[in-house]
Amino acid sequence: MGRCRCRSRAWRSVCGQPSHWRSASRSGTSSPVFSPRPRPATADVPLRSVQARRALLRRNTLMALLTVAVIVLAAATLLNLAVLAAVVRRMTRLTAPAGPAADHGLPAGAPVPDYTVESADGTRLTREALLGRTTLFAFYSSSCPDCRTQAPELAARSAALAAEGVAVVPVLLGPDTPDGLSSVLEGVGQLMNESGPGGLTELFRVQGTPSYFLVGPQGSVLRNGSSLGECLQAHAV
């Protein structure tokens, strides 16, 4: 600071003091009087607080919406994957090659080996005797529930089969019972009783009862199966 040009010592002392002291010096008091400094305006503090809360609320709302959108998108993706997997499995089943047919014994197209068997009434039956005509071999067992249902069906259709030139050879496996199938099959054709290995059961490689083998005039199997209707319908018999 430059020198005070005031000649009076009193004025120099006054000029060397801060401005808010001067009023006190002029008034003759020796103690300094401090004037209060201006306080910052606080009227906008509540407004800023409200704006901050609103901004925080908007941010939280946006985050919640984004979270919901992500969850919905993930659920839709999983649903699409599940539907796609189901479609692929179905297409795989539809386009997969068919598995091997159930083994019912001597397959269709196989020639029947030579045989000579004796029926229940003592009549001999040979392969050569049945050549030139269609023959249905039906294998039953008295302990088989399905046989008890299908044997009467065969008996009911035997007359129609004979009229169409189809010979029927029913084969009863195992011991019969008093209420067994012998009485049902007696008038159907040449009834064969087989209680042991060998015979027609081994010849046709029978796997279970009931079993049917439709043999053509040339002595080869045309059709086999476990259902009488299916075996006959396949060849319009």
What is the tens place of the pLDDT at every residue in 103-113? 678 898 999 99
pLDDT band per the 50, 70, 90 thresholds, residue 178: low
Residue with tokens 């011991």: 175
Q: Alpha-carbon distance 100 to 103, whole Å?
A: 8
pLDDT over 80 (residue 164)? yes
What share of the chain has pLDDT > 90, as a percent?
A: 22
pLDDT (mean) for 24-53 = 58
In which band, very low, low, confident or very high, does the pLDDT at 119 lie, cut at 50, 70 and 90? Answer: confident
Dist CA 54 CA 35 (whole Å): 40
Q: How far apart are CA 55 and CA 61, in angstroms?
A: 10
Residue 94, pLDDT score: 34
Higher pLDDT residue, 9 or 190?
190
pLDDT per residue over 57-88, tens digit each? 888 888 889 899 999 989 999 888 888 787 66
Strand ranges of the sheet holding 192-194, from the earlier edge strand across to the other edge = 192-194, 166-173, 134-141, 211-215, 221-225
The answer on pLDDT for 197 being more than 80 is no
Q: What is the pLDDT of residues 43-61, one digit of tens each?
A: 555 667 777 888 888 888 8
In CATH terms, the fold of domain 116-233 is Glutaredoxin (3.40.30)
For the chain, domain boundaries = 1-34, 45-99, 116-233
In terms of DSSP H, where are the helices of 96-198?
A: 127-130, 145-163, 182-185
- pLDDT surpasses 80 at 189: yes
Confidence (pLDDT) at 13:
47
Integer CA distances (angstroms), 137 to 106, 134, 151, 185, in order:
12, 10, 12, 12
* Threshold 0.75, pTM exceeds: no
